[in-house]
Structure formats: structure tokens, C-alpha cells
Homo-oligomer: A and B are copies of this chain.
Amino acid sequence: MTTLSISRRSSSLNAFFTKMSPSVTILPPNTYSYYSTKSFSNPKPRKHNLNFKPAGQLTIGDLNENVLKAKYAVRGKIPTRAEELKRQLAEKPNSLPFDKIINANIGNPQQLQQQPLSFYRQVLSLLQYPTLLHAIETKPGSSAVYKKDAILRAKKILKDIGGSVGAYSESQGVYGIRRTVANFITERDGGEPAYPEDIFLTAGASAAVNYLLSILCKGEKTGVLIPIPQYPLYTATLALNNSHALPYFLDEMNGWSINPIEIENVIKKAVQDNIKPDVLVVINPGNPTGAVLSKEAIVSILEIAAKYGIVVIADEVYQENIFDGMKFHSVKGVLRRLQREIPGKFDNVQLASLHSTSKGVSGECGQRGGYMEIIGFTHEVRQVILKLASISLCPVVTGQALVDLMVSPPKRGEESFALDQAQRKTIHSQLSQRAELLWKTFNSLDGIECQKPNGAMYLFPKLNLPYRAIQEAQRLELSPDEFYCKELLEHTGICTVPGSGFGQVAGTYHLRTTFLAPGIEWIDSWKQFHIEFMEKYNS
């Protein structure tokens, strides 16, 4: 082996730490007292010494316990088994009782043939390759596929972002896009104003949840109220932050409604146990429940937030997924009206409202676009949120652009309007029809019952499993709902997520399914499976 260049070093780590600018010092001063006593001014060649005993690899026990504790069932055991079966089908197409996997475990519309909206994709392709704008302008023959409003929007966004989607933007997101979002919110909330300064663009809503809980959780003394059943991102992120989930139950028999008295009791109990209930999460429309909160329910949540000084995280990513006859009320809109109508009581309420390009009729999960609106926080707290965002530099810029498109789709009179409306209507009606069919199918069967879905992308039916099925599950060391989901997968290729991944009242069993998969044959095969499963374990 060869020689090394040895560096001279006369200063000490100790001096480094006592004098280094506080902007990078993490260790307290004087934690280290190591002094380099040797002078390296005449470095001598150093031989490599291979006489060491190699150390072992890391084991699980060497890792961060919080990460080990975190669970995320949406990509857990059943979906992992589905991936194995998918590979088996690719290698041996006729080796299973079905010919494809139906991924009903995750809200991923474009994996299941939902088409993207043309207007979005026209603009995004122009942003990726602005040379096209020139080609379109100079070669009339090539303009056929692009609509005028798409070209105009691309130019507007290119101007907002400074010319290229390849440059980092401001960490909070492109200002011009935040302005578009603020306009959207103002209109959505019947004129209650929103401001670009309150908007943070994020890589999907997951990134927003991650930021917020990282900042608000102080470890073992912090409690976060989450609905049960919940989207498991919340418990996973709480585990990562070593803070407490404070579950409040939704009432299945009343369409998964909330009970404010129970929420207050959970808060009081937490305080007694010396846990500070700092945050309350609402998911509206509900994931996995599909329920839509009434205005009155939102008022009661805001009363609790105001009374106890609890931050509200309103996960409103399914706000576009509302079925006919229902109305979405944003927490922000209700809060602003309360602030005006009942002066003084609600002024300190702190709210983060989340939205995403992944859901709605956009379904652009892979593009990682989203935003959060932050209101009621002090300037200092907002600066901390901004600092944390700055450490990951910026959300993907094309995802930011997609947020602009989502909140400001083509308007009446613009060239893309008719096609865009038609595409939206098709997606919306297919989703609600399939939700209805699946819901009716469940309720036509013995051993399964399901609340009527009012929004979102999921059904969360209750499984009334035969005693012998529960026994069989125990024998296999599975929870009963996991057993049902596994059997469903192995017999039909339909991949769902057991209710235990979301939380459920003890002794009850559920599963979550999306209604995104095209066609209705899979619903028939599920029905067939269910009847046979019940017969087998009831007899």
C-alpha cells in the first residue's frame, strides 16, 4: 500500500468549540477536551496497518428506537405480499387463481389507469421543455396539441419561477404560486381572505405533516389528538418524534361522526397524566372513513382548540372528493367566520390546513405537490417552520407548478375549459358510481357492513367474522382482519389494508379499500370470495 498525506494541525477541538460561531455549534462548549499534541509540520509516510480485528455490522439494536417503532400499514405486510404475488404472476402467469393484483390498498389513481387531466400535463410538458413554446410559435404545424391557455399559463409560471423548473425555489415555495393558492382559498371560503405569506408549498401533504409534527412534538411530554380510525402517517410520524398519540374515537354507527365530549375527556385525562395535548388532527373528508364533517362538528373542534390552546392540523386533502348532496366546509373558513361573529374568543386559534395534488380528480401522487396554510402562529414560530423547510431546500418545482394548476383550472371561455370539465366529470362520476356499487355490495352480504361514503377515496367496512375464522387467525398468529385481508389477496388478487393498521374499537374488525380500480369484475370476485369465506367458517 502507499503513503498518505498527513495534515498539520496545531489548533485544538476545544478551542474550535469555544470559539466557533454559534451558527454551527451543536455540542455545548467544552464537551471535548481533546488536544492534538503532535506537530505534523514534517509529515512522515504512514504505513497502512492491517493488523486490526474487523468490527461487526450494525444490528437492529444499534438503530434509533423511534424509527423501529414507526409502522405504516398502507405499505405493510399485506401490500408486501401483494408485491411478491405480482412478481410471481410476471414470471409464471398461470400459477395463481387470478391474473392480476388489484391495488386497493393505496389511493394511487394513476396506477389504476385514471388518466391525468390534459391541461395539467400540457403545461407541465411546456415547463420541462420551454423550447416547445418557441417551436409552437414558429412552426404552426406543431401547435395542434397545445391549447392557448396552457401556453399562457406555462409562460406565467415560468416567469413566476424565474425561468427554469431546474432551479431551487424559495424554501417556502414560489411566491407567484402561493398567490394563486391564496386566491383559491379566498374564493373557496366565500371571500374570507388568504395571503401568500401564510402558504407553504410542500412535497405532498406527508411532508407538511412531517414538518409540523417535528416542530410541535417535544418528545414524551407531548400528546397529539388523532381520530381513530386514522391515516397511519400520523401514528408513524408521532413514533418518529417519540410523542404520544391521544386517540379520539369516531362513531361508526353515526357515520363516523366525532364526539366533542369525548375529545375533551381525552384532553383532561392527558393533562392528568402530565402529557400536554398540543395538537389535534382532523381528517376531513375522512381517511379511511370517507365521512364529511358538518359545520357544527368543526365549530366544536375550534371551541376546544380555542379553550385549550391546541393547534389544529386540518388534513383536507380529499376536499375535492365530495359526493353529490354533501358539502365540504374548510376549517379555515369556519374559523374566520367564528372570529368575526364572536370577537375575542377564537383569535388565538392556530391552524395548519393541508392540501395535495395527489387526490381529488388530479390524482397526481407521483408528482409530490401540496401546500399548507398556516394561520394564528406567532412570527417566531413561523420562522422556525420556515427554517425547517429550508434545510430540505425546496419542494420539487414541477410539483409546485401542479399546485398552481390544481387550484386554478381552466375557466369558462378558455380554450381548455370544455375538455377539462368533461375529464373531471368522468373521473368524478366513475369514482362515485364505483363507491356506491361497492358499498351496496358490502351491505348485501352477510358478515360485512359499511357506512355510506360521502367523500374521499375509501370505504372502511366492518367485518363481522365467524368465531371459527377468528380462531383460525389466532392459530396463524394473525389479527382476524389481517387474516381476512390475506385470504382475500391470496384468492382474488385484491390488496386491501386491515383495520388494525388504522385503529379500531377493540373487538371490532375492519378493512380499508379504495374504489379506484377500474371495472367491476373485481367487485364480483370479492363478493364470491366473501360468500365462500363465510360459508367455510360458519359451517
Q: A21-B501, A67-B384 are in contact. List 15 more A-B contacts (CB 8 A).
A: A2-B296, A7-B259, A8-B251, A23-B71, A26-B69, A54-B346, A54-B347, A57-B350, A60-B381, A63-B216, A64-B219, A67-B387, A67-B388, A106-B168, A165-B367
Residues 319 to 367 of chain A near chain B (Cβ within 8 Å)? 342, 344-348, 350, 358, 362-367
| Residue contact A8 to B376, C-beta cutoff 8 Å | no
Map CB proximity to B onto A387-427 as digits: 1 under 8 Å, 0 otherwise.
11011111111110000000000000000000000000000
Question: Given A23-B501, A110-B166, A128-B124: A388 and B70 within 8 A (CB)?
Answer: yes
CA distance A506 to B20 in the complex (A): 6
Residues of chain B lying within 8 A (CB to CB) of residue A390 = 72, 75
- Among A138-146, A187-195, A436-444, A530-538, the stretch in contact with B: A138-146
- Nearest residue, chain B, Cβ from A229: B24
Map CB proximity to B onto A223-236 as digits: 1 under 8 Å, 0 otherwise.
00000101011011
| Residue contact B365 to A166, C-beta cutoff 8 Å | yes
**A539 contacts B by Cβ under 8 Å:** no
Question: Given A19-B507, A54-B346, A498-B21: A251 and B162 within 8 A (CB)?
Answer: no
Residues 106 to 131 of chain A near chain B (Cβ within 8 Å)? 106, 108-111, 113, 116, 118, 121-122, 124-129, 131
CA distance A392 to B366 in the complex (A): 11
**A476 contacts B by Cβ under 8 Å:** no
CA distance A505 to B12 in the complex (A): 8
- Among A265-273, A280-288, A488-496, the stretch in contact with B: A265-273
Residues of chain B lying within 8 A (CB to CB) of residue A296 = 1-5
**A105: min CB distance to chain B, Å:** 11
| Residue contact B378 to A59, C-beta cutoff 8 Å | yes
Residues of chain B lying within 8 A (CB to CB) of residue A36 = 262, 265
Residues of chain B lying within 8 A (CB to CB) of residue A236 = 391
**A59: min CB distance to chain B, Å:** 7
- Among A92-100, A307-315, A456-464, A521-529, the stretch in contact with B: A307-315
| Residue contact A55 to B168, C-beta cutoff 8 Å | no
Question: Given A166-B363, A367-B398, A479-B21: A300 and B4 within 8 A (CB)?
Answer: yes
| Residue contact A58 to B218, C-beta cutoff 8 Å | no
Map CB proximity to B onto A71-96 as digits: 1 under 8 Å, 0 otherwise.
11101100000010000000000000
**A200 contacts B by Cβ under 8 Å:** no
* Sample (21) of A-B pairs whose CB atoms are under 8 Å apart: A4-B300, A7-B250, A11-B506, A13-B266, A16-B247, A26-B244, A27-B244, A48-B299, A52-B303, A53-B307, A55-B308, A62-B218, A64-B214, A64-B219, A72-B391, A75-B390, A108-B167, A110-B166, A166-B366, A366-B397, A368-B368
Select which of B72, B217, B266, B506 is within 8 A of A34 by beta carbon.
Answer: B266
Select which of B46, B482, B504 is within 8 A of A20 by beta carbon.
Answer: B504
* Most chain B CB inside 10 Å of its own CB: which residue of A125, A131, A233, A362: A125
Residues of chain B lying within 8 A (CB to CB) of residue A482 = 21
| Residue contact A15 to B56, C-beta cutoff 8 Å | no
- Nearest residue, chain B, Cβ from A362: B166
**A517 contacts B by Cβ under 8 Å:** no
- Copies per complex? 2
| Residue contact A378 to B7, C-beta cutoff 8 Å | no
- Nearest residue, chain B, Cβ from A398: B398
| Residue contact A60 to B384, C-beta cutoff 8 Å | yes
**A290 contacts B by Cβ under 8 Å:** no
**A238 contacts B by Cβ under 8 Å:** yes
| Residue contact B249 to A11, C-beta cutoff 8 Å | yes
Residues of chain B lying within 8 A (CB to CB) of residue A145 = 129, 131-132, 135, 142
Residues of chain B lying within 8 A (CB to CB) of residue A247 = 13, 16
Residues of chain B lying within 8 A (CB to CB) of residue A240 = 214, 391
- Nearest residue, chain B, Cβ from A138: B144
Question: Given A11-B505, A129-B125, A204-B393: A166 and B67 within 8 A (CB)?
Answer: no
**A399: min CB distance to chain B, Å:** 6
**A3: min CB distance to chain B, Å:** 7
**A31 contacts B by Cβ under 8 Å:** yes
Map CB proximity to B onto A290-312 as digits: 1 under 8 Å, 0 otherwise.
00001011011001001111110
Residues of chain B lying within 8 A (CB to CB) of residue A376 = 57
Question: Given A4-B260, A132-B125, A378-B58: A218 and B65 within 8 A (CB)?
Answer: yes
**A503 contacts B by Cβ under 8 Å:** yes
- Nearest residue, chain B, Cβ from A394: B366
Question: Given A307-B52, A392-B207: A110 and B59 within 8 A (CB)?
Answer: no
CA distance A399 to B111 in the complex (A): 18
